[in-house]
Amino acid sequence: MKILLAGYNIDRDLIEQLKRGETVDEGALTPETISAAYARISRNPADVNILREKSRAAVEKARKSNEQIVFGLGHASVAEHACFNFDVIGVSRLAIEYLEHFRLASYTEKSQRYIKIEDDGLIPEEFSDEPFRGEFLTLVKEQNAFYRRAFEEIEKALLKNGDCAKDASLKAREDARYALPLAIRGQLGMTVNGRTLENMIQKLQAAPLAEVREMGRQLFARCGKLVPSLVKYTEPDSYHLNQGKLINALPSVSGNGKQAAGQGAVALLTHSPNPDNSILTTLIFNKLPLSFEDAGEAVREMTVKQKKELFLELFRDMNSYHSVSRVFENTEFTFEIMLSATAFAQLKRHRMGTLLIQPYLTELGVTIPETMVAAGVETAYFDLVRKVNRVYSRLAEKNTDAAPYCLTNGHRRRVIFKLNARELYHFVRLRADEHAQWDIRSIAAEVMALVKEVAPFTFMLASGKHEFQETKKQVFLNE
């Protein structure tokens, strides 16, 4: 694992001084001076550029000011003015799931979809002793060997079927990876503010996996001395450390762990009552001087035709790159989704929704790409999965939390995914697009079909980006 501090924000005036070759106090090359200056805006009559100048000239004083305001008065948002860029290299796909759990950060991850994977599996610290280490390593080698074989066979079958060499290679990489373990190393670039970074480090260091705890320690090591007044309380406390023990307090229940979410991979569990009416009520409330109750009464008196016409006006000038209005946020939709680790890697990027996850369960089976079937490696894939499941069971006896390292990208879990109509539009537009990965695209299609049943006007223009213009044309065709 290697975590590097790639960049951070400093005062522009200092940058200009450095450009001119002037001597600059190295102590002032910290985001803390900007945070301190902005923290003083509300109570100081001076212009903010003067406050920045004062912070640069007295860094220690700026730090004391930050500590008093952020930790003394509890105005933690001041730490959000400090921003950091990190290179995160050589961490497992399983650990990346922990890192990308945090909403208020930005991540760009190297995709297994576009690169060919070399043998680069992590041996977890939890299984560093024999016989677990040997068994784990043997399994990972078999998974990598199958990946290479599947890649060759899928590519060969696609070329024979008429795909061009570029497309065949891409699809082969995309689908052969379903056999790779979650222990395969990846990398990403991360941008995060100081407030989230402190919370991130604290929670990562309370994680059950040694690799994830090390990730938290390295993040703090890269920034702790740089911004001591903003990233300060990073040691996990009992609240974080004892979260895993909650399972011991749960009631004893039984159920069918194999049961899927619904007829397909997706079930709509709950939604706001009459979403179409709710959005129109919010629109009227937003535009007219009426109470919400009066706005609702106005909508209830409208005909179906009038409601549709009002939605058409909302959508009339919208293009595929536009977000729908914020009035669409006054609805909620909750789904239960059963999906592979590959699809989850896409879903977890929609961080503004609520995502609650179960562990991966071998009882839920695996997702198999159609190309594996066409290439004749289906039987070998399921043979490998059965072996993975046996090894997983033995590893779980030693450490339940670390056992998923050996599971494949095809293994499944169940999640609760809750989001409003505005976020749903973004999700569908991105994940139902023809360029989206096929696994998450099928989930987006199920989501879209379900919400159009309960809110047909709200989701008139919900489609993949590639279909937007044609969808809009059909919607306005018989206006």
Structure tokens at 310: 């009002």
The Cα–Cα gap between 430 and 434 comes to: 9
3-class secondary structure, 238: helix
Three-class HEC string of 142-205: HHHHHHHHHHHHHHHHHHHCCCCHHHHHHHHHHHHHHHCECCEEEEEEEEEEHHHHHHHHHHHC
Q: For residue range 381-393, what is the model confidence (pLDDT) as tens digits?
A: 999 999 999 999 9
pLDDT, average across residues 3-8: 97
Q: How many CB atoms lie within 10 A of CB 158?
A: 22
Q: Which residue has the tokens 């590639």?
A: 466
Q: Is 88 left (phi over 0), alpha (psi -120 to 50) or beta?
A: beta
**128 contact partners, CB below 8 Å, separation of at least 6:** none
pLDDT score, position 262: 42
Unique residue bearing structure tokens 């989001």:
419
In the predicted model, what is the mean pLDDT of residues 367-373? 96
**Alpha carbon of 16 to those of 11, 36, 85, 419: distances in Å?**
9, 20, 21, 44
pTM: 0.92
Nearest 5°: CA angle at 392, between 389 and 393? Answer: 90
Mean pLDDT of 78-93: 95
- 169 CB neighbour count, 10 Å cutoff: 17
For residue 48, pLDDT beyond 70: yes
Residue 8 has pLDDT above 60, yes or no: yes
The single-letter code of the amino acid at 339 is L
Average the pLDDT over 122-144 and give the result: 95
Q: Which fold has domain 85-247+362-406?
A: Gyrase A; domain 2 (3.30.1360)
| Calpha distance 318→463 (Å, rounded) | 13
Q: How far apart are CA 391 and CA 407, in angstroms?
A: 9
**Sign, CA torsion 264/421/353/343:** positive
Strand 83-92 relative to strand 2-8: parallel, antiparallel, unpaired? antiparallel
Per-residue pLDDT, 263: 44
Over 80: is that where the pLDDT of 259 sits? no
Alpha helices in 274-323 (DSSP H): 275-287, 292-300, 304-315
| pLDDT tens for each residue of 391-432 | 999 999 999 999 999 999 999 999 999 999 999 999 999 999
Q: Could you give the angle at the alpha carbon of 431 between the alpha carbons of 427 and 432, nearest 5°?
A: 110
The pLDDT of 185-189, averaged and rounded, is 95
Of 23 and 251, which is predicted with more confidence? 23
Evaluate if residue 204 carries a pLDDT over 70. yes
What number of CA atoms fall less than 13 Å from residue 197's CA on the CB side?
31
Please tell me whether residue 73 adopts helix, strand or coil conformation.
coil
Q: What are the CA-CA distances from residue 437 to residues 112, 166, 212, 431, 440 (Å)?
A: 11, 16, 27, 8, 6
Domain ranges in the chain are 2-30+32-81, 85-247+362-406
The region that residue 355 occupies, defined by phi over 0 for left and psi between -120 and 50 for alpha, beta otherwise, is beta
Mean of all residue pLDDT scores within the chain = 92
The pair of three-digit structure tokens given for residue 388, joined into one six-digit string: 């993975």
Burial 143-153 (b: 16+ CB within 10 A, else e): bbebbebbbeb
Widest distance between CA atoms in the chain: 74
- Give the pLDDT band of residue 261 (cuts 50, 70, 90): very low
